[in-house]
Each structure stands twice: as structure tokens, then as C-alpha cells.
Structure 1
Amino acid sequence: MTDAQHTTAGEADAGTRAKAFAKSRRGPILGAIFLMATSAIGPGFITQTATFTAQLGAAFAFAILASVLIDFAVQMNIWRMITVSGKRAGDLANSALPYSGHVLGVLIIIGGLAFNIGNIAGGGLGLNALLGLDPKIGGLLTGLLAIGIFLFKRAGRVVDIVVMVLGIGMIVMTVAVAIASQPPVGDALRQTFVPDELNFATITTIVGGTVGGYITYAGAHRYLESGLIGPDHVQGVHRASMQGILVTGVMRYVLFLAILGVVASGVTLDLSGQAANPAGQAFGVVLGDAGLRIFGFIFWAAAITSVIGAAFTSATFMSVFSKRLASGWPLQLATVAFIVVSLIVYLLIGTAPAAILVFVGGFNGLILPIGLAIFMYIGWFRQRDVLGGYRYPRWLLIVGTLATLLSLYMGIMSIGPIFAFLGVGV
């Protein structure tokens, strides 16, 4: 072969390798997008959406919009700082403020563990509606399936596929119910921007339950597995985080429209008692028994993907205490152990009481400004050394700082009501 032919062949091989590498990274990237989205749409969020829509009607659309905007400010900053540095949140926090990552890790793990008990309970309720199984048996099967996924040798790839398939299934089925319920779309769009009623508590609850705690870091930590990190890959990270926010926003809004159609038709959902299931009632009103089955699938899919997201993300924070848990088989075993503990507690106490679930949602909302404050400190004062000299966008820091101050204000205003659910005066 001539030198020119060798050069051409080499370039072709390089091009083939580049395409193969890009294809191999596509799974973790899509997995990160859907892990972020499905972690934000858990059983608690579904129940909250149904409850608040029944109470506020179309005015709840404004709370959905507010949660999406805060989600944007939070996730754009978290994804960029974590991927530019190539470090998980706990390690990144420690590099800026010694032991702050340990404090954040403890808070995330405690909040994630409590939420995971509720997620497993949600899986049991979902399988009860879908297949008629006893909720405790359904919760056990949900937990065992999640454990099986992480015991698989190539757990990362399986997680990506599971969350993508179930996430798409949730969207498709919810869209079908939203169309069938015939919601007043025009009124919903108007009140998305100009609500007839503004309820600050609903915004606090939704933000805490869909952006706070482990949810903040789920997508970014999974994205690190793609290997596409550092300042050179900022544009790819930007696209992925935007896509994750878009998927999350669509899932939230479509679910709201599905339930709004029922409420607007004059049907009154029963919100009394801890056993009340307003979302299941709404789906049943629209499509009868088939609606309950669809609700069962959506609720179970939301539950198991949230179990996966909570367990994986909480386990990644354990690496701040032991580097042996940073990756590979030790990380998988730590994730499995996290699910096992959650499952045992669920089986011992049964379905988590509503007060505990609300408290945990609020607790994760209190965690949110703590983590954000650390990241904003890095962005404003430590980007030169901690982020390797990367020139961080000023507009993104301003947006992130405003979200931090807003979440801090909401957290301070909510401390009393949150702890009141446990009978503790603050």
C-alpha cells in the first residue's frame, strides 16, 4: 500500500472507532436523561399532583411551571459543575469546603433511604392496582426486581434500558388518559402564567418532592459514567440536561392535564384519610377498570424507577466515606444493600404513613438549598482552582443563586409545618 492509502485507511479506522465510541456513550447519556426525569416523577409526586389539582384546579398549572423553572436553574448548574470537574457532588463539595461533602452525603443518604421506603410502598400499591396483588407482596417483588437489576454484571446498561422503557411507557399511557379526560387546555395554559389562585405551600411541596434531595444529583452522577466529561464536553452536557428538564416537564404537565380533565368535569376526588388514592380515582373515572390498570402500571413504573434512582444516587454519595465504593462491583453491592435496608423496613412497618412521606418530601426540600449554596460558592469564588480554570457562565451563576435564595426562603418558611407532621414543634 502507498503512504496515501495507509493514511486513508488509518483515517477510516479512526472514524470507525470514533463512531463506535459515540454509540457506546449514547446509552449512559440517555439513561442519565431518563434517570433524572423518572426520579422526579415518583409515587409521591403523582399523589401530590392529584391532590393539589383536586384542590386548586387549573391554577395548579402555575406551580408546575414554577417547579420546572427552578428545576432548570438547579439542574443546569449541578450537571455542568459535576461534569466539568469530573467529580461526584460529595467529592466536589469536599474539594471546596472540607467535610461539606460528608455532611451533604449524610443528608442525601438519610433522605434517600426514607424516600425509598415510600417508593417501594408505591410499587406495592401499583402492582395491587395492576394485577390485584397484595400491596406487601407487590412491594417485595418491586424491591427484589430492583435488587436483581443491580446484581446483574452489566447493571449500568440494564438501568439505562429499564428507566428509558418505563419512562416512555409512563408518558404514552398518561398522554392517552389526558386525551380521554378532555381537560380544559385553554384555561390550563392561561393559568400556567396567570393563576386565579396562588398557593405558596404547593410550590414548596412540589419543588421539595421533585427537585430536592437525591433527585438533584441523579442525572449528573449517571452522566459521569459516559466518560464525556471536562470543559471540552460542556455543549453535550448542556443538551443532555436540557433534554432531561424537557422530559421531566412534559411528564409533570401531562399528568396534571389527565387529572384536571376529571376534576373539571365535576367529579369530586376523595382526599380524606391516609388511604385515599386521588390519582387512581381519576384514572378510574376516565377509563373504568382499564383506567385503574393503566394507573397501576404508571404508579409501579414511577415507583421502581424512583427506587433505582434513589438507591444508585444515594450509593454514589457513599464514596465520600470510602473510595472503594466509588465504582464497579463495590458500588453495585452498596446500591443493593441500600435497597435491601429499604425493603426490610417497608416489610416491617408496611406502607409508609402519609405524614412520613410528606415529611420526607419536605426534608428533601430543606436539603436542596444546602447543596446549592455549596455549588454556588464554588461557582463564584472557587471556579479557578476547583473547576480547573473553567470560565463559568455568569448568567448561569446568577440564575442558580436566585434559585438558591428562593429555595432557602421556602425552606425557612416551611420548617415549622414540615416538622409538625411528625408532631415536633419548631
Structure 2
Amino acid sequence: MYMENRTSNTKTFVKNRRASLISAIFLMATSAIGPGFITQTATFTVTLGSAFGFGILASIIIDFVVQQNIWRVVSLTKMYSSDIANATIPYSGYVLAILVIFGGLVFNIGNIAGAGLGLNALVGLDPKWGGAISAFMAIYIFSSHKASHFIDRLMIGFGLLMIGLTLFVLFAAHPPIGQAFTETLFPSNIDFASITTIVGGTVGGYISYAGAHRLLDKKMVGVENIKYVSSAATRGIIVVGVMRYILFLAILGVVASGVTIDISSYAANPASQAFQAALGQLGLRIFGLILWAAALTSIIGAAYTSMTFITPFKPSITIRQRQIATIIFIICSLAIYLIMGTAPVSLLVFAGGFNGLVLPLGLTIFIFIGWKRADLMSGYHYPHWLLWSGFIVCAITWYMGAMSIVTIFNYLR
């Protein structure tokens, strides 16, 4: 009887651990695949063609190093990122929290706007109504006592749905796959501006911390779990990378066929045009469903992750109090969207610059912990390869952050 109970408990533990890892993988992946990412990918594929494959590859490599470091340090220290920063450099956690929460709020306005556009393309619903309905769906999820369960199932289901639908469009578009693979590894044109933009939009801000904080909430922490955490981070990057690349190939197929896609006007929607060119009205409906799924999961991911950064201001916050704060966060995002009627471009640009600083600031602190603060990680010996690759990515992201600030000043002048 004892052996049977022990075997049953072991199976339950393994099952719960697998579920926790999968939920973190898809929260990170779906947070990284939002409306902004879809639009950016379409725009750069139109302008750069097959050569944009290299930009996607570069973003995946940078993403891998960032996520491996952040997931590892959060798991080993058993603290949220803002608390880790405060424990390392006094008051830096407050700065990091303010940057993440502000950037998350502004980009959540864009997520709600994207959800409205998605439902408009899918069923013809007015974008404001579509945005409001999507925001209230997210509010309903966070108001439930089973919010954690709903979030996990929604992220996994919608993540797989987006990949499946995009694959369907890819096969219909018949992209030049051989040329795309060649240009990915040996690009004829390297555009650093596109790499900076795609990294900022898919790695920067709250996105870097989404999966790691989900694992922390699921109690998947400590040295004993580090190999599973590291493996989950790698799988998360693979999921994100697959989605990025198949979206790129789907749009590339349309571009390579000679279809002209308008990217010159502010109102242009290059991804919508590409999907419609590939499959007609069916393509437009598929685009609407993908955009809505990407936006809704990003609303949830942005709200959830941003509110994990309020612990420096209220260390004793309960799970229920954080759910209430998350609901308020979504309501504020929705109210601003409804008042302004669309995602406020100037605020999005401004927040983009802030997010350009969030990544290098947080990553620098985490690399310092891996280098000098083994005491915060139960004496864990940090891998040298991860430290050195982290140093390199830190330098790259600080440069990207500086370029983001330059973009802000040029835009606001």
C-alpha cells in the first residue's frame, strides 16, 4: 500500500510539474506574439523580403540568452524580478517596476485596439465594441477563483490555434522556402533597425519576465528544478521562434508572388492584406481570428505580468488582491482606449523607448547576480557560457535601448 501511494504521489508531482512548465512556456510565447509583432513582421517582410529571416533568427538567439538568464535567476532566488533587483541594488527594483508597469499599461491599450481590429476582420464588429468585449473577457477570467486554470488553458489553446492557422496560410501562400532559409543564414541585406524593433517588441518590457514569474507562482523554483526550468525556457523560445518564422514565410509567399502590399499609410494593415491575398475572404477571417487570439492572450499576459511587479510597493499582497489590481489595470487600459478611440501612437512610441531600457536594465542586474551573488541563489554555480553570452547580449541591448531613446526624441521634436 505504501509503495502504491508513493508511486501515485510521484506521478501526480510529475504531472503537476509538466503542467506548470507548459503554462509558463505558452504564457511567455503568447505574450511575445501580440498585434504589434504581427504588424512588424508583415511590414519588414514586405520591405526586406527573404533577408528578414536573418532578423528573426537574430531575435531568437537574443531571446534565448535573455530568457535563460531571467528564468534561471528567478527560479534560484525564489523572488519576483523587482524584488531581486532591490536585493541587489537598493531601489533599482522600484525603477524596474515603474518601467514595466507603465510600458505594460500603454501597450495593453494597443493590445485592446488589436483585439477590436481582430474581431472587426473576423465578424465585422465595430473595433470599439470588439476591444471592450475582449477586455471584459480578460476581466472575467481574472475575477474567477479558477483564474490560474483559465489562463493556462487559454494560453495553450490559443497558442496552438495561432500556429495551426498560420501554417494553413503558409501552405496556401507557397513561399520560396529554400531562398528564405539561405537568406536566414547568409543574408544579402542586414537591417539593424528591423532587428532592434523586433527584439524590442517581442523580448523587451514585461514579456521578458512573463514565463519566469509564472513558474514562480507555480512554485517551480530552487536548484532541484533548475534543469526543468532551463529546458522549459528553451522550449518556450522554440515555440516563439516557430510562430515568428511561419508567419514570416506565410507573408513572404504573398510578397514573392508579386502581390503589392501597402505599407505607406498609417491605416495600412500589411498582415491583413497578405492573408487576404493568399486566401481571399477566408484569409481575412483567418487573419482576424489570429489577431484577436494574439491580442487577447497579450492583454492577459501584459496585465498578469505587470501586476507581479507591484510587490516592492506592497510586499504582503495576496493572490486575490493581485487579481483585483490586475482587473483595475485592464479597466484603465480599456478606458483610455475607448476615450481615445485607437491606440495613442505618441504614447506607444514613448513606451517603446521605455521598454527599450527595461530589457538591458533588468538583464544587467541578473547577469551581475549570476556573476557575484551566489548567496542569493543558494550557492548555485552559474554556468560560464551563460554569463559570457549574457554580457554580449547586455551590450547589444544597451545599444538598442539607446537607439530607442533617440527614436523617441526624434519623434517628439
TM-score by length of 2: 0.98
Q: Cα gap change, 1:359/1:48 in structure 2, threshold over 3 Å: closer, same or farther?
A: farther
Contact 1:44 1:357 in 2 (8 A): no
1:132-170 Cα distance to aligned partner (Å, 9 max, x none): 000000000010000001011110111000010000000
Instruction: Report the counterpart of residue 68 of structure 1 in structure 2.
Output: 60
Q: Which amino acid aligns with 1:389?
A: G
Look up the equivalent residue of 1:372 and give its one-letter code. Answer: L
CA distance in 1, matches of 2:14, 2:150: 18
Q: Does 1:51 align with 2:49?
A: no
Please tell me whether the aligned partners of residues 261 and 270 of structure 2 are also in contact (alpha carbons under 8 angstroms): yes
- Listed as ranges, the matches of 1:302-341 within 5 Å are 302-325=294-317, 327-341=318-332
Q: Secondary structure at the match of 1:87?
A: coil
Tell me whether 1:400 sits opposite 2:375 in the alignment: no
Q: Secondary structure at the match of 1:323?
A: coil
Distance in 2 between the 1:214 and 1:201 partners?
21
Determine which of 169, 173, 178 is the counterpart of 2:161: 169
Relative to the length of structure 1, the TM-score reads 0.95
Indicate if the aligned counterparts of 1:151 and 1:332 stay in contact, CA closer than 8 A. yes
Conserved? CA contact 2:71–2:212, under 8 Å: yes
What is the aligned partner in structure 2 of residue 129 from structure 1?
Answer: 121
Partner residue of 1:411?
A: 401
Within 5 Å, give how 1:287-306 maps onto structure 2: 287-306=279-298
Residues 199-214 of structure 1 mapped to structure 2, 5 A cutoff: 199-214=191-206
Determine helix, strand or coil for the equivalent of 1:268. Answer: coil
Segments of structure 1 that go 5 or more residues without pairing to the other structure are 1-8
Q: Shift of the alpha carbon at 1:413?
A: 3.1
Does the 8 Å contact 2:352/2:404 carry over to 1?
no
1:352 Cα deviation after fit = 1.0
Structure 1 counterpart SS, 2:208: helix
Query: Contact 1:205–1:362 at 8 Å: present in 2 too?
Result: no
Aligned ranges 1:9-408 → 2 under 5 Å: 9-325=1-317, 327-383=318-374, 385-408=375-398
Structure 2 gap segments, 5+ residues each: none
Q: How far 1:187 sits from its partner (Å)?
A: 0.8
> % of aligned pairs identical?
55
1:54–1:263 CA contact under 8 A, matched in 2: yes
* Paired amino acid for 1:37: A
How many residue pairs get aligned? The number is 413
Q: Which amino acid aligns with 1:365?
A: G
CA-CA distance at 1:354 after TM superposition? 4.2
Find the aligned partners of 1:11 and 1:85 in 2 and give their Cα distance.
34
Q: 2 CA distance for matches of 1:18 and 1:337?
A: 39
Q: Distance in 2 between matches of 1:357 and 1:282?
A: 24
Q: Deviations over 1:46-83 (max 9, x none)?
A: 00000111101001101000000000010000000001
> What is the rounded CA distance, in whole Å, between the counterparts of 1:29 and 1:239 in structure 2?
9
CA distance in 2, matches of 1:268, 1:359: 31
Q: 2:23 touches 2:155 (CA, 8 Å); kept in 1?
A: yes
- Counterpart of 1:373, as a letter, is T
CA distance in 2, matches of 1:185, 1:355: 37
Compute the displacement of 1:33 (Å). Answer: 0.2
* 1:124 partner amino acid: G
- Runs of 4+ with >6 A deviation: none
Task: Give, in whole Å, the separation in 2 of the partners of 1:204 and 1:295.
Answer: 25
